[in-house]
Structure 1
Amino acid sequence: MAFLSLSSLLIFLLVVSALPLLCLSSSSNNLLSLSVENPEHVIKSRNGSFTAGFYDVGENAFAFAIWFTEPQGQNLTVIWMANRDVLVNGKGSTLALRSNGNLVLNDAGQVDVWATNTTSSKPPQLILNDDGNLVLLEPPNHIVWQSFDFPTDTLVPGQRLTRHASLVSSKSHTNPSSGFHKLFFDNDNVLRLVYDGPELSSIYWPPPWFQPWQVGRSTFNASRFMFLGLYGDFISTDNFTSETSDYGLVLQRRLTIDSDGNVRVYSRRNWEEKWSVSWQAFSAGCNIHGICGENSFCKYEPYSGRTCLCLPGYRFKDETDPSLGCEPEFNLSCNNPEDSRFLYIPNGDFYGYDQGTYLNITFDECKNECLKLCNCNGFQYTHDGAQFLCYPKTLLVNGNLSPAFRGGFHLRLPNSSSFTLQEPNTKCDLVKSVKLERVYVSRQDSVLVKVLLWLAIAIGVFELSCVFLFWCLTWKNYSEQQNYDHLTGTGFRKYSYSELKEATRGFNEEIGRGAGGIVYKGVLKDGRVAAIKRLNEANQIESEFLAEVNLIGRLNHMNLIDMWGYCAEGKYRMLVYEYMENGSLAENLESDKMLLDWRKRYDIALGTARGLAYLHEECLEWVLHCDIKPQNILLDSDYKPKVADFGLSKLQNRNDLNNPSFSRIRGTRGYMAPEWVFNLPITSKVDVYSYGIVVLEMITGKSLRVDGPDHTHQGRLVTWVREKKNKGEGKAWVEQVIDPTVEGSFEMKTMEVLVTVALQCIVEDKDARPSMSRVVEMLQSHSIDLVSESE
C-alpha cells in the first residue's frame, strides 16, 4: 500500500505539472470534438440504424467511420471511412468540427490527416441521417459536405455513385486501405470494373472483348450515375439494371466491392441476422483480374474454393501474397530456337498482352512465330468454330485454369527442363492485419515533468513485478477459469467437454442421429437452447478440426444453420448449433398434426434453394452438400427452413477428397444422383438432383424411407409423378399428386410450379439440370407474382 500511495502521489504531481501543456494543446474554437479514447464519443442516426465514430482497424490503428449499428461485441459492418489509407493512433486522436465549418481528423494531437476543407458563414452542425449519410449542415438546411459524395467501397440504398467518385475495394478482410479493384464510370459513360494494380491495369467487367452495345450498355447518357434501391433493384444510366434474389422485401442492404474484386449486394432483416449475398457480378471468381499475379493460374474447385497456381518452372515471389505473382526458376536463351520447348497445359487461358493475332495458320507456324520473339513466353492455339487462331503472349497475366475453356496454353520452357504442372497450394484470399507503427516526436516537456514521469514509471514497474509474481503462483487456477471464456481465432466460443456434458445432462436427450454423429439437446449456461452434435470420428488433429470449423463458420446465410461454438478436447470433437424448435422437415412430413400447408411447403422449397445456391455459387468457400434429404432441412419457430450438415463432407474423411471426383459414394439412399452410381464426375448438380427428390416428397407426402410403411422408392415416385403430369389434363393432375393431408384449398399454380421445377432437377443428364440459383429465380419470380396478386 505504501508503494501504491507514493506512486499515486507522483502521478498526481505529474498531471498537475503537465496541465498547462494540456491546456495549450486544446482548441477553444471547436463546435464538436470526438476522442478516439472515449467509446461513448459517437454520433447515431435518429432511427438508430447507423453509428459514426472511431473504428478499431488493428493494433493501434483507428479510422473515423460509419457502420450499421450492432450490439456491443458484434463485428461491425462499415459503410464509409474518412481515412482508410492514413490511419490514426489510439491515443490523442480526435475528430473536431471547427467554428469556420471545417471538419478535421487529427492524429495523436500532432498532424491533421483528413479534412473536409469546407467553410461556413454560420456555425454548422454534424448530423448522421437515417440513411447513413453523414452531413455537415449550415443553418437552415444548406448541405456544406456529405459522406455520400465520397464513397469508399460500399453504397447503401439511396446513395448514388456518380462520375465524380468510384468504389475501391479494400486490401483484405482486415486491411481497409485502398485495394486494386475499382467500380467506376469510364469516359464512354459505361459502368465498369477494373483491376488497377501497381504495374498493370485491365478492365474485366463487362467483358472487354465485347462492345458496350453487345452487352446491353449505352454510351449516350453523360449524367453517369447508378444507385441501389430500397427493394433490391439497382439501376445505372448506361442501361445496366438488375435485381437481387430477394427483390421486393424491405431489408437492410448494401452494395460492396469486396477485396476479391467482386461486387456483391448483401441483405438482412436486422442486426440479429447475418448478411447474406443476394446478388453478385461474378459467380466464377477466377474471371476477376488481379486475383493471382503474373505467371500464375487461378483455379477453382467446388470443394476447396479458389487457389493460385504457379506455372511449371515458376515459384511464388511471396508465399503469403499470391497476387504478387510468380518468377521463373530458369534462364531462357532466345538466341537459338532449338533451346526452347513447349509444355501444353490443357484448359489454360491468359487474357490480354498478345503479340498479335494470326488467322488460319498451322500449329507449327504459330509455334515458330513465338520462337521468333525473344520475349514470347508461350502461345494459345485454338479454333473458334470457323478458323484457327494463334495468340503469342509476351506477358502472362489474368490466368484462368478452367474446364469451361476449350483449348489450352503452350508454355515456353528450356529444352533441358523437366517441369510439370503442380497442384495448387496457395489460397487467394489471404488476410493481413493492420498495425500502425508511426513514431512521433514528443514535445519539449519541462525537466520536472520528465523526472516525475521516470520516477512514476520505476515505481510502477516494481509494483507490476510484484503483481506478476503473485499471478505466477496462482497460474494453474487462473488458467482453468480463463479457459471457460477462451475465444479462438475462428470467432466462436470454445466449450470444454465438461460444459457440454453438463448442458446436455450427460448427453441424455437425443434429438437426431446420422452418419456424422449424434445430436443432443442442451441448455447452455447463458440460457440458450442448443443442438450439440457429437461427431463420430475423433482421429482428426485439433489444427485440422479448427480449420474446418472456421470454414463452416464463414458460411453465413439466413437459410443455413448457425453455429455457436465447438469443443476440441482430447478425442472429443463436438459442434454447437442453434436449436430449431420445429425439428426437421422429415418429422413434420411424418407427423399426424398436418402443420404444413401449401404455403409453408412452397416457402420451405424456396428457402432451401436459396441456402444451396449460396453454398454453390455465392460464398467465398465453395461447398457441395452431398446429403440433401428432409432430415437435414430444419425448421425454426416460424417454419423457415435452414439447411444443416453442410460441412459434413469436409469434417469427415477429408483425405477422400483428393480430386474433383469423390473416392466413395456419399449421401442417403433414395436421394443420390445417378453420377454416384455410374462413377461420373461429381459437381453441384448432385445437390440439385437430391433437392428435386425432396421437393417431390414434400409435395406428394410419399416417403422414400426404405423402412417406411409403403416402401416407396425413388424410381417409383419420379415415374409416378411424371406419368400423372404427362397424362393429366388441365389442373386435374396436380390434384392427383398433392399430399392428401394438405387441408383446405391450395394455390394450384404454385403447386404446379413446384412440381415442374422438381422434375427439371431430377433429369438423369446433369448438364440439363438447372443450377440452384436458377431454381431460386424460377421460384422467386412466382413468389413475387403471388404477392402482386394478393395486393
Structure 2
Amino acid sequence: MYLPFVLLLPLITLYYSPQVAIASSSPSVLTQGSSLFVEKNDHLVSLNGVFTAGFHETGQNAYCFAIWFSEPMLDGNHTLVWMANRDKPVNGKQSKFSLLKRGNLVLKDAGQRIWKSDTQSNSPLQLKLLDSGNLVLTQLDENSSLWQSFSFPTDTILPTQVFTKDTVLISSRSSTNFSSGFYKLYFDNDNVLRLLYSSNEITSVYWTKPYILTWEAGRSTYNNTRFALLDSKGRFQSTDDFTFTTTDYGDALQRRLTLDVDGNIRVYSLINKRSWRVSWQGISTPCTIHGICGPNSLCTYSFEKGRRCTCLPGYKSKNHSDLSFGCEPTFDLSGHHENFGFIKLPHVEFYGFDSTYSQRSTLRECKNACLNNSNCKAIQFTFDKESGFFQCYVKTLLFNGYFRGTIFNTYLKLPRNGVLMSYNHSISNESRLYCSSSIIQMKRTYEKATANGSLKFMLWFSIILGVIEVMSFVFFYYITKQPSGKTTQTYLAIATGFKRFTYAEIVKASHKFKEEIGRGGGGIVYKGILPDNRVVAIKRLHEAIQGEAEFLAEMSTIGRINHKNLIETYGYCAEGKHRILVYEYMENGSLARNLSGNQLDWKNMFEIAFGVAKGLAYLHEECLEWVLHCDVKPQNILLDANYNPKVADFGLSKLFDQGVTENSIFSRIRGTRGYMAPEWVFNLPITSKVDVYSYGMVVLEMIAGRSPTYDQLPDDNERLEQKRLVSWVREKVHRASESLEETQIMEILNPMIRGEYEKGQLNNLLKVALQCVEEDKDARPTMSEVVKALLYIP
C-alpha cells in the first residue's frame, strides 16, 4: 500500500524540478505555486544586486517579509525600505511567503494567514524584484502588473516611486521597533502634502506650519491629481508646488526618502555603499515637531546633546525608556484657586489646545481665568505687535512645548504648598551670540520668590554641593584626557558626514598646499582631493586668534546648515594653531571671476540673484541659529558646473539670537568696502539688514557690470565724473519711469552680458536691488521678501 521512499524520490524530484530550475537561474523571480521559507533564509535578489526581498529579523523570534538594501551598513545592519507585516511579525519557524496558483500573495505564520495581496488572475504570473527596489506581481500574457510594493509604502519611498493620494508614509515606532509609529506623511483633502502627529489621544498637523496660510508656505491647493516623485538625481516634485533638490544632486547615487522616527522627513544618499548621509531634511528645528516629547514636557535642542525632553516642574516621566509618552503631574489640580500659583517659563510656547483666548488682557486677568478653570494647566501671555495689546491663551493640555525664542511667555499653574515653594527660579533660554567673536554668552534671569530660612539653607547647600561636583568632574576630566593628537575619534558628531580632519590628512589631500585657487581677507584656498576621490576646496584660515572651543562652536553651526544655495562643508581641522575648512569644490569659481571674464548670460545672472537670495533667507530665518553673513560679496558667491550659486564663508559669520535685533555689540567692523551697509559706519545696531544691503550691491554690480566702489560712469552729457553706483542706477531708473524710455534702462545693463534679457525680470530685479540698498535699514525688505518679490514678474 505504501511505496518505499526510494521509489518516491524520483517523483518528488520531478514534481519540484521546475521551481528549482527557475530559482537557480533567476533568483529575482518567484513563480506560481512557489514559496519562500523563513527557516531556509530564502531570498529574492534584484538583477543589479542592490535590493533583497525575504524574511528579515526585526526582533527576538520576530520576522517581517521585507525589502532591504543588500549591502550591510558599517554597523552591520541592513536598511529596510518596505515591510508587508510591520505590525504583525511572524515566527522564525513554519512561516512562509507564497505566490498561490490563483494569483494571491500570502504570508503565513505557522499556517495562520497574516497578510495577503488580495489579487487573483487566470493568467500566468510571476513575482519579481526589480532593480528599482519594487516588488512586482506581473501578468505575463498581458505584460502588466497586478500588484506592486511601490503602491503600499511603509516609511520610505525610493527614486521613481510615485507617492499618490492613496499612499501614506508612517514612521517606525523607534530605531529598534519597526511597527507603525506616530507620524504620517500624506496628501490632505486640500491637495497639499502634510506631516501629521497621530496618537490615540491627539492628532495635529505640524508641517507645513499650521499657523500660516497654504500659499504663504509656497504650496498650491489647485491641483487635485495629488502625486509626488523623487527622481534618481535627487530632485523632488509635488503637485502642490513643493519642490526641492538634494545637496548632492546628480547621478550614480542610491537614495531614499524616509519619514524618520523623530517625525522629520529626510532624503538619504548612500556613500561608499556602506553609510547614509542626509542630503535634505524637511524640518531644521526638531523641537517644532509635534508630539516629540509627549504631554507636560519641554523639548530643548543642542547640537552636542541633540534633542532632549524634560518634564516640567511638578511633573514626572511616565516611561523612562520612552520619553515620547511624556510626563504626568505629581500633584492634584483639583482644589480651590487660592491654593495655586504660577511660575514663569520665558520664551516657551505650547502650541495648540487653548480652551479660551482673549485679545486684550492683563496678566492678572489671564491668571484669574486659569485659576477659575479647574482644567487649566497653564497660560500663555504674549504681546501682539499688530494690535498693540497683550493676548491670553488658557491651556488645558501642555503639548508641543519648546523654546520659541520670541516674546512668548508661559506661566505654569502649580500648588503653592508643593512644587511652587521648592521651585525658586524660572526657566530661561536667553543667549546672545556676537558677530565679532561668535562666543556664546548665556544670560539667565530669575524671578525670586519669598523664602524662609530653611529654604535659603537648602539653596546654599545645593549650590555648595553642585560646586564640589563640578570641580570633581573637571579634575577627573583632566587626569583622564588623552592628547588630541592621539585620539582615535576622528569624527565629531556635528552633522552627518561632517568630519574632523587631522592636519596630516589636510597636508596630504592638498598635496602640501600646492595648487592655490583663491585668496581673500579670511585666508587662502587650495584645491585638494580626499581619499574617496572627492575634489574639495581647502581654506587655510589666517593665524587663529580663536581658541579651539570657540572654533568648534562655529563648526557646530556649519554642520547643522543644509541648503542647496549654501556651500557644503565636509569638515574642518582644529589642530594647534591651524584652523582649516574643507568644503565642496565649485568648478566655475567665484561670481567675481565670472563677472570680470564676462562668462554669464542673462538667465545665469537672474538665477544667481534668485539662488543667493534663497540661501541668505535660509541663514536669516530658517536654520537652527540666526546667522548673519556679514561679508556678502561676489568673491563669496561660488558657481558650480551649471552656474548654480552657493554662498560661501557663512561659517565664519557670527551668530545671534533670533529676535535680538538691537543693542548688538561688535568689537570691530566686518565686511568689504563698497558692500558694507551704513550701520557699520555709523555704529548703528547690526541686524540681518546688513546682509540685505550687501546683496543689493552685488545685484547692482551684476546688472551694471561695475564695481560698487567709486567708478567712472557716463552721464547724459557724456562727461566722465565719479558717482556712486547706487545714485547712478537710481537716477537712470527714475528717468526711465518719467520718460518711459527703455534706453535709460539699457544704459544700466552691462553690454557684455551674453544672451537676450527679459524686460520684466530686469525691471523687477532693479526695483528689488534698489530697495535693498536703502540707507534706512527699516526701508529694506527681508531676504524672504526678496525671494517672494523675485518670483513675481509684473
Note whether the superposition's TM-score is higher than 0.5. Answer: yes
Deviation at 1:751, TM superposition (A): 2.8
Seen in structure 2, the aligned counterparts of structure 1 residues 104 and 760 have a Cα distance that, compared at 3 Å, is farther
Q: Distance in 1 between matches of 2:306 and 2:174?
A: 17
Q: Does 1:289 align with 2:290?
A: yes
Which amino acid counterpart does residue 534 of structure 1 have in structure 2? R
**Rounded Cα–Cα distance in structure 2 between residues aligned with 1:189 and 1:503:** 49
Structure 1 position 761 matched with structure 2 position 762: no
- The yes-or-no answer on 1:519 pairing with 2:518 is no
- Contact 2:613–2:784 (8 Å) recurs in 1: yes
- Could you tell me how far 1:719 is from its partner in structure 2? 2.9
The 3 A distance-change label for structure 1 pair 738 and 77 is: farther
Structure 2 CA distance for aligned equivalents of residues 674 and 69 of structure 1: 59
The equivalent of 1:718 in structure 2 is 726
Which sits farther off after the overlay, 691-700 or 28-37?
Answer: 28-37
Q: CA RMSD in A?
A: 6.1
Moved more, 597-606 or 348-357: 348-357
Residues 210, 762 of structure 1: alpha-carbon distance in 2 compared, 3 angstrom cutoff:
closer
Identity of matched residues, %: 50
In structure 2, relative to structure 1, the CA distance for the partners of 1:771 and 1:263 (3 Å cut) is farther
Select the residue among 579, 582, 587 that pairs with 2:585.
579
What letter matches 1:716 in structure 2?
R
**Would you say the 8 A contact 2:285–2:624 is kept in 1?**
no
Contact 1:206–1:215 under 8 Å retained in 2: yes
Other structure's SS at 1:647 match: helix
Alignment coverage as a number of residue pairs: 673
Q: CA deviation at 1:513?
A: 3.3
Alpha-carbon shift at residue 634 of structure 1 (Å): 1.5
Output the CA distance in 1 between the equivalents of 2:643 and 2:649. 18
Taking the aligned partners of 1:761 and 1:69, their CA distance within structure 2 comes to 53
- Seen in structure 2, the aligned counterparts of structure 1 residues 116 and 761 have a Cα distance that, compared at 3 Å, is farther
The CA deviation string for residues 308-328 of structure 1, in whole angstroms up to 9 with x for no partner, is: 776566687789976554566
Q: Does 1:134 align with 2:142?
A: no
CA distance in 2, matches of 1:213, 1:610: 17
2:748 is matched with which residue: 721, 734, 737? Answer: 737
What is aligned with 1:42?
Answer: 45
Residues 377 and 486 of structure 1: CA distance in aligned 2, closer, same or farther (over 3 Å): closer
Which amino acid is 2:523 matched to? G
Displacement after TM superposition at 1:178 (Å): 3.5
| CA distance 1:275–1:660, shift in 2 (3 Å) | same
In structure 1, what is the equivalent of residue 367 of structure 2? 367
DSSP 3-state at the match of 1:723: helix
Q: Which residue of the partner structure matches residue 649 of structure 1?
A: 653
Distance (Å, rounded) in 2 between the aligned partners of 1:69 and 1:627: 47
- How far is the alpha carbon of 1:501 from its aligned partner? 2.2
Give the secondary structure class of the aligned counterpart of 1:395. Answer: coil
Amino acid at match of 1:757: V
CA deviation string 1:709-732 (max 9, x = no partner): 99x9x9933333222212223322
What SS class does the counterpart of residue 688 from structure 1 fall into?
helix
Give the Å deviation of 1:132.
6.5
**Deviation of 1:697 (Å):** 1.7
| 1:622-661 map, 5 Å | 623-649=627-653, 660=660
Q: Render the CA deviation track for 1:406-429: whole Å, top value 9, x for unaligned.
A: x6433324363422123289xxxx
Q: Secondary structure at the match of 1:202?
A: strand
Paired residue secondary structure (2:732): helix
Q: TM-score, normalised by structure 1?
A: 0.65
Matched AA of 2:226:
M
Say if 1:104 and 1:115, in contact at 8 Å, map to a contact too.
Answer: yes
Contact 2:344-2:427 within 8 A present in 1 as well: no
Counterpart mapping for 1:304-703 below 5 A: 323-325=324-326, 331=331, 335=335, 337-345=337-345, 348-356=348-356, 364=364, 366-380=366-380, 385=387, 391-399=393-401, 401-402=403-404, 408-413=409-414, 414=416, 416=421, 417-423=423-429, 490-491=496-497, 495-514=501-520, 516-524=522-530, 529-536=535-542, 552-553=558-559, 555-589=561-595, 591=596, 593-616=597-620, 623-649=627-653, 660=660, 663-664=665-666, 666-673=670-677, 684-703=688-707
Q: CA deviation at 1:586?
A: 1.9
Residues 437-464 of structure 1 show CA distances to partners (whole Å, capped at 9, x for unaligned) of xxxxxxxxxxxxxxxxxxxxxxxxxxxx
From the superposition, tell whether residues 371 and 33 of structure 1 become closer, same or farther in structure 2 (CA, over 3 Å): same
> Does structure 2 conserve the Cα–Cα contact (< 8 Å) formed by 1:312 and 1:420?
no
Q: Is residue 345–residue 408 contact of structure 1 (8 Å, CA) maintained in 2?
A: yes
Alpha-carbon spacing, 1:481–1:387, altered in 2? closer, same or farther (3 Å): closer
Q: Does 1 or 2 have the higher relative contact order (CA < 8 Å, sep 6+)?
A: 1
Which whole-Å CA distance do the structure 1 matches of 2:58 and 2:486 have between them? 28
SS at match of 2:768: helix
Q: Secondary structure at the match of 2:650?
A: coil
Q: Give the secondary-structure state (helix, strand or coil) at the position aligned to 1:724.
A: helix
Q: How far apart in 1 are the matches of 2:41 and 2:288?
A: 45
AA matched with 1:376: C
Residue 519 of structure 1 aligns to a residue in which SS? strand
Work out which of the residue numbers 147, 150, 173 in structure 1 matches 2:149: 147
Per-residue CA shift, 1:464-511, capped at 9, x if unaligned? xxxxxxxxxxxxxxxx9998x976765356654334324434334433
Q: Which residue of 1 aligns with 2:761?
A: 750
Cα gap change, 1:657/1:401 in structure 2, threshold over 3 Å: closer, same or farther? closer
Provide the residue aligned with 1:3 in structure 2.
none
Which residue pairs with 2:468 in the alignment?
none
Counterpart-to-counterpart distance in 2, 1:537 and 1:657: 28
Contact 2:405 2:430 in 1 (8 A): no
Instruction: Quote the offset at 1:381 in angstroms.
Output: 5.6
Listed as ranges, the gaps of 5+ residues in structure 1 are 1-23, 236-240, 426-479, 786-791
Q: CA deviation at 1:153?
A: 3.7
Match of 1:583, as an amino acid? G
SS at structure 2 position matched to 1:242: coil
CA distance in 2, matches of 1:617, 1:304: 23
Provide the rounded CA distance (Å) in 1 between the counterparts of 2:215 and 2:46: 45
User: Judging changes above 3 Å, is the alpha-carbon distance between structure 1 residues 39 and 125 closer, same or farther for their aligned structure 2 residues?
Assistant: closer
CA–CA separation in structure 1 for the residues paired with 2:340 and 2:756: 75
In 2: Cα distance, 1:683 partner to 1:112 partner: 64
Cα deviation for residue 640 of structure 1 reads: 3.1
Q: Which moved more, 1:573-582 or 1:533-542?
A: 533-542
Aligned partners of 2:56 and 2:681: how far apart in 1? 53
1-structure distance, mates of 2:701, 2:215: 46
Report deviation, 1:264: 8.0
Secondary structure, aligned partner of 1:126: strand
Gaps of 5+ in 2: 1-15, 24-29, 432-484, 714-719
TM-superposition CA deviations, 1:88-109 (whole Å, max 9, x none)? 99999997756664556799x9
Change (3 A) 1:294 1:779: same
CA distance in 2, matches of 1:104, 1:551: 50
Aligned to 1:151, the other structure's residue is in SS state coil
The whole-number CA distance in structure 1 between the counterparts of 2:568 and 2:218 is 40
- Cross-structure match for 1:166: 168
Distance 1:343 1:233, change over 3 A: same
- Once residues 336 and 584 of structure 2 are traced to their aligned partners in structure 1, the CA distance between those partners, rounded to angstroms, is 67
* TM-score, length of structure 2 as denominator length: 0.65
Contact 2:317 2:327 in 1 (8 A): yes
Q: Residue 388 and residue 530 in structure 1: after superposition, are their counterparts in 2 closer, same or farther (change >3 A)?
A: closer
Question: Who is 2:451 aligned against?
Answer: none
